[in-house]
């Protein structure tokens, strides 16, 4: 896998957040907490670093696909 345990866990959290962004109406802050981030700011920063999209823009693009 070539990922550190911390990177692997972050990737799992991001993947779960992607599902929740597309399949629920939960707020970004709520999703951040549900997938294990301390706060919305850290979640948004990690999400953007991973996907080059904010969680809000990801939801707009992929929600109904």
Residue 26 contacts residue 12 (beta carbons within 8 Å): no
| Tens-digit pLDDT string for the chain (65 aa) | 688 999 999 999 999 999 999 999 999 999 999 999 999 999 999 999 999 999 999 999 998 76
pTM of structure: 0.91
Q: Which residues contact 37 (CB under 8 A, 6 or more apart)?
A: 13, 43, 46
Look-up: residue for tokens 């911390």? 6
């Amino acid at each position: 896998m070539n990922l550190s345990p911390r990177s692997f866990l972050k990737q799992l959290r991001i993947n779960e957040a992607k599902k929740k962004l597309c399949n629920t109406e939960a707020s970004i802050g709520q999703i951040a907490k549900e997938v294990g981030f301390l706060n919305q700011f850290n979640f948004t920063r990690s999400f953007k670093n991973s996907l080059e999209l904010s969680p809000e823009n990801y939801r707009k693009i992929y929600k109904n696909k």
